[in-house]
Amino acid sequence: MLRTAVVALGGNAFTREHQSGTYEEMASNAHAMAAAVHGLRQAGWRVVVVHGNGPQVGNLAIQQDAGEPLVPGLPLFALGSMTQGMLGSLFCLALREVCGDDSPDVVAVVTHMRVDARDPAFDHPTKPIGPFFSAAAAQELAQAKGWQVVEDAGRGYRRVVPSPAPVEIVEARGITRLLDEGFVVVAAGGGGIPVTDHNGRLAGVEAVIDKDLAAALLAVDIGAHALVLVTGVDAVMLDFGTPRQRAITTASTADMRQHLLDGQFPEGSMAPKVRACLEFLDAGGGCAVITCPELAPSVLAGHSTAGTRIVSTLASQGAA
């Protein structure tokens, strides 16, 4: 039986830091990510794709503001569902094109994610969305629009919104059925549309869920062997952004937990990725990888000295 890899594609890999967010840019970047997924399938993996939406959902929120009062702005969770449709479509088209005659059946599932209405994250926004701004422009926008802004991993300042922990994938059964039928499934895009129980029904809430944590939850739910987090850097670095910066190539969960405690990884970028890997491996996952699209297949196979490959401490000691 084929082993399953859940592959999470960064929203910042669809729209790169220096890009403005045009459709053509996203389509071209989607190709590189589709090629990575194609490589994994050729290596014998069954693949589920989760994509991010930070840049795109933030851009859409700015477009909503600009449309007022002619057209009413929509809530953030509705914008999340819109990005699921757009990026799901982009990725499915790119995968078909990259695979050519070898194209798999690929479907994108509109996915809702249950979160806890009492999650303290609602009072402490950490999820960066939209474009990067200079400090001065960010301050001005924060004043004018009531945004909270933070510095994002040395790349500039961005708006931040609440990012509660993903609790339950509402469409989990459907996703599993499609996988069992042999589809490449795109699911939980943008971390999933955040919903809570409200008077006996599910209702959207103002948040953007971290797609790496959503991917880890999905990977555990479906019993995946590997979690592959595809982003804009080859590897996780220690002392990132300093002259002492160096890549982590292989690590145990104990090593990564210690680096997290030491404050090596910023919130809103690398910290949730590392946490997602730890959650997956602690729940029995086989291997977690953080790397760029081009290296993903070889890092997962253990054939590359670049990229970051994490296994549970027990497995690294040969006990599992």
Ligand X SMILES: Nc1ncnc2c1ncn2[C@@H]1O[C@H](COP(=O)(O)OP(=O)(O)O)[C@@H](O)[C@H]1O
Ligand Y SMILES: NC(=O)OP(=O)(O)O
Site size toward ligand X (CB under 6 A) is 19
Q: Which of 11, 88, 130, 192 is catalytic?
A: 11
CB atoms within 10 A of CB 74: 15
Is 10 annotated as catalytic? no
Tokens of 201: 């029904």
| 49-68 binders of ligand Y (CB under 6 A) | 52-55
| 177-216 binders of ligand Y (CB under 6 A) | 190-191, 208, 210-211
Q: Which is nearer to ligand X, 174 or 232 (CB)?
A: 232
Q: Which of 29, 53, 58, 127 is catalytic?
A: 127
Nearest one of 17, 29, 33 to 228, comparing CA atoms: 33
Q: How far apart are the C-alpha atoms of 62 and 141, rounded to whole Å?
A: 11
Residue 183 beta carbon to ligand Y: minimum distance, rounded to whole angstroms? 23
Say which residue the tokens 């042999």 belong to. 182
Bridge pairing between strands 148-151 and 157-161? antiparallel
Is 211 annotated as catalytic? yes
Residue 296 beta carbon to ligand Y: minimum distance, rounded to whole angstroms? 15
Residue 293 is a binding residue for ligand Y (CB under 6 A): no
Q: Which of 54, 190, 268, 273 is catalytic?
A: 273
Give whole-number Cα distances, 242 to 237, 238, 306, in Å: 10, 9, 19
Is 273 annotated as catalytic? yes
Q: Which of 10, 12, 52, 307 is catalytic?
A: 12
- Give the DSSP H or E segment for 298: helix 296-301
84 binds, among ligand Y, ligand X, none (CB under 5 to 8 A by kind): none
Q: Which is nearer to ligand X, 9 or 178 (CB)?
A: 9
58 binds, among ligand Y, ligand X, none (CB under 5 to 8 A by kind): none
CB atoms within 10 A of CB 151: 15
Give whole-number Cα distances, 272 to 72, 124, 254, in Å: 33, 15, 16
Residue 56 beta carbon to ligand Y: minimum distance, rounded to whole angstroms? 8
Is 145 annotated as catalytic? no
Is 11 annotated as catalytic? yes
Question: Binding mask 152-181 vs ligand X (x if CB under 6 A, - otherwise)?
Answer: -x-x--------------------------
270 binds, among ligand Y, ligand X, none (CB under 5 to 8 A by kind): ligand X
CB atoms within 10 A of CB 105: 12
Q: Which is nearer to ligand Y, 10 or 266 (CB)?
A: 10
88 binds, among ligand Y, ligand X, none (CB under 5 to 8 A by kind): none
Contacts of 257-260 with C-beta under 8 Å, sequence gap 24+, read none
Does the bond joining 69 to the residue before it have cis omega, within 30 degrees of 0? yes
Contacts of 99-106 with C-beta under 8 Å, sequence gap 24+, read 99/34, 99/38, 99/41, 102/38, 104/41, 104/182, 104/183, 104/184, 105/182, 105/183, 105/184, 106/183, 106/184, 106/185, 106/186
The contact set with ligand Y (CB under 6 A) reads 10-12, 52-55, 190-191, 208, 210-211
Q: Kindly list the catalytic residues.
A: 11-12, 127, 211, 273
The contact set with ligand X (CB under 6 A) reads 10-13, 52, 54, 153, 155, 231-233, 236-237, 240, 264-266, 269-270
